Amino acid sequence: MHYLYAKDFAQWRAQARDMLARGLTPLDVAWEASEQQSFFTATLPPAPSSTIEINVPKTFLALAKTIACHRSDKRWDLLYQLLFRLHCGEKNLMHIPTDPLMYALLRMHKAIRRDAHKMKAFVRFKKIEDESGEHYIAWHEPDHRVTPMVAPFFSRRFSSMRWAVITPDDSAYWDGETLDYGPGLTRDAAPSGDALDALWRDYYRATFNPARIKLKMMKSEMPVRYWKNLPETKIIASMLAEAPERVEAMLAHTQAMPDSAESFLPVLRDLAHLREASKGCEGCELHRQATQTVFGEGPENARLMLIGEQPGDEEDKTGHPFTGPAGQLLDEALTFAGIRREEVYITNAVKHFRFLYKDSFRQHQSPSRYHIQACKPWLIGEIAAIKPQLIVCLGNSAARSLLGSGFTMKNGRGILHPHLPPVLATYHPAAILRAPAQERASLRTFMFDDIQHAARNINADSGNNKHRFGIE
């Protein structure tokens, strides 16, 4: 038996490759919790003279990097078992969640993901001011070593602030430009202890400009939709005059809203796993009010994919996309184009219904750019799983999600945008139903013709287009 020690994923990976090349099985090696315990009981078998090819699916790397954050001392052994079995030809192993090894790893993965979310939601920064200006410090005790997973999220969210997140394992520092990692500290060093203050000053003394940073912070941290109805100059002036507590409250509020579905996506991203995982998505605040996640529907080998905006009142109740009035008009358009609904994949840019109560009526509200962005990982996951030949975006929300915020119906409708797969945008059926009576017929004709145009650009013989894919 050979006893090894890895301090991080990169070290484990190098060792694992070496052990595999020497033909050592999981029974021959063990990774120990500390460096002192690592030793070789026997001479290692020789390494092969040429490098061996290790073929593992891409998902292995993603899973392994996450598992590396788990606190269990067993993590490296389990990963070596997985690597070994994949290498020995169990190509499908990662798609068998009931295999005991996969079961254990997926549970660990889930625990880490949950912990990363807790960190995003519960970290509270404390403001500290000194002669170098203001900075924010948070102390957090994660269950797993998730700081490197979450720190980039904080640097995006609080990009203009200088902050530090301190944990017992490690610490992350952001100076407005660069993310740095340092050693773990004890609780009494954070957030107001002298040691931490000194540490902080060392990092940030040079670059601070309070006026600039404060203003930028307001702009980047306060969701713009909260102040869109007020003249910008007025709100910024009053913001600058706000008490610091107000700023704190605002920060706490934005922190409580993780801004992406990304970390809710499953390791295995086939349609069934994506759909199942989407039920638990809390990637933006829309899940709180809506009844359920409305995921896309249709065959996994669909050649055409249709993307709407978000579920409506009816879809929120049924759980299926386009089951209300807009869905009926869409069905007519599909029939006109000679397509059966069962052969297309239909989904939405946003998977939860956004609405406002008006009396007892749930009034549809368009999702904001923020929701569309937060929900986009699901859409990308669906596109990657289906690999359609062509995508039709119904309405501006879906079109802007894929074609960029500059998209307009006026200039971009009805043409095949040269993406992989190509994207065509047209009017949303609900927009047609809402349009003034005199415009309705012509909008309807445009939409029907556009969908027919899309249908004609699908190659009926070649099945779907698994090799051509690249939308991000």
Interface with ligand URA by CB under 6 A: which residues? 308-312, 315, 321-322, 324, 326, 348, 430
Out of 113, 144, 214, 371, point to the residue binding ligand SF4 (CB under 6 A): 371
Tokens of 268: 């295995």
Residues paired with 137 in a beta bridge: 126, 164
By a kind-dependent CB cut-off of 5 to 8 A, residue 281 interacts, out of ligand SF4, ligand URA, none, with ligand SF4
Contact 150, 203 (CB under 8 A): no
By a kind-dependent CB cut-off of 5 to 8 A, residue 311 interacts, out of ligand URA, ligand SF4, none, with ligand URA
Per-residue binding string, ligand SF4, 168-207, x by CB under 6 A, is ----------------------------------------
By a kind-dependent CB cut-off of 5 to 8 A, residue 430 interacts, out of ligand SF4, ligand URA, none, with ligand URA
Contact 418, 406 (CB under 8 A): no
Neighbours of 235 (CB within 10 A): 16
Residue 307 makes contact with ligand SF4 by CB under 6 A: no
CA dist 298 → 165, 357, 381, 394 (Å): 44, 31, 14, 17
- To the nearest 10°, report the CA torsion of 281, 286, 290, 295: -50
| Cβ distance to ligand URA smaller for residue 69 or 349 | 349
Residues contacting ligand SF4: total by CB under 6 A: 16
What minimum distance in Å lies between the beta carbon of 58 and ligand SF4? 24
What minimum distance in Å lies between the beta carbon of 248 and ligand URA? 38
Q: Which of 281, 410, 442 is nearest to 350 (CA)?
A: 281
| Cβ distance to ligand SF4 smaller for residue 74 or 320 | 320
What minimum distance in Å lies between the beta carbon of 233 and ligand SF4? 32
Per-residue binding string, ligand SF4, 280-299, x by CB under 6 A, is -xxxx-xx-----x------
Alpha helices in 290-368 (DSSP H): 313-318, 325-336
The three-state secondary structure class of 375 is: helix
| Cβ distance to ligand SF4 smaller for residue 170 or 309 | 309
Contact 454, 422 (CB under 8 A): no
By a kind-dependent CB cut-off of 5 to 8 A, residue 170 interacts, out of ligand SF4, ligand URA, none, with none
What minimum distance in Å lies between the beta carbon of 355 and ligand URA? 12
Which amino acid is it at 214?
K
What minimum distance in Å lies between the beta carbon of 373 and ligand URA? 17
| Cβ distance to ligand URA smaller for residue 142 or 324 | 324
Residue 398 makes contact with ligand SF4 by CB under 6 A: no
Residue 372 makes contact with ligand SF4 by CB under 6 A: no
Q: Using the 8-state DSSP alphabet, how is residue 183 labeled?
A: E
Residue 63 makes contact with ligand SF4 by CB under 6 A: no
The string of DSSP letters for 94-123 reads: GG-TTSHHHHHHHHHHHHHHHHHHHHHHH-
What minimum distance in Å lies between the beta carbon of 374 and ligand SF4? 4
E strand or H helix at 456: helix 437-456
E strand or H helix at 412: helix 409-412
414: left (phi over 0), alpha (psi -120 to 50) or beta: left
E strand or H helix at 171: strand 170-174
Residue 375 makes contact with ligand SF4 by CB under 6 A: yes
Select from 65-73, 120-128, 235-243, 346-354 the region that touches ligand SF4 (CB under 6 A).
346-354
Residue 379 makes contact with ligand SF4 by CB under 6 A: no
Contact 28, 18 (CB under 8 A): no
Residue at shortest CB range from ligand URA: 308
The string of DSSP letters for 52-95 reads: PP----HHHHHHHHHHTT---TTHHHHHHHHHHHHHTT-TTGGG
Tokens 């997140």 identify what position?
Answer: 165
Out of 351, 387, 428, 444, point to the residue binding ligand SF4 (CB under 6 A): 351
Select from 74-82, 321-329, 367-375, 443-451 the region that touches ligand SF4 (CB under 6 A).
367-375
Residue 144 makes contact with ligand SF4 by CB under 6 A: no
By a kind-dependent CB cut-off of 5 to 8 A, residue 309 interacts, out of ligand URA, ligand SF4, none, with ligand URA
In this structure, the strands spanning 170-174 and 179-183 are antiparallel
Q: Which positions from 246 through 285 interact with ligand SF4, judged by CB under 6 A? A: 261, 278, 281-284
Residues in contact with ligand SF4 by the rule CB under 6 A: 261, 278, 281-284, 286-287, 293, 350-352, 371, 374-375, 378
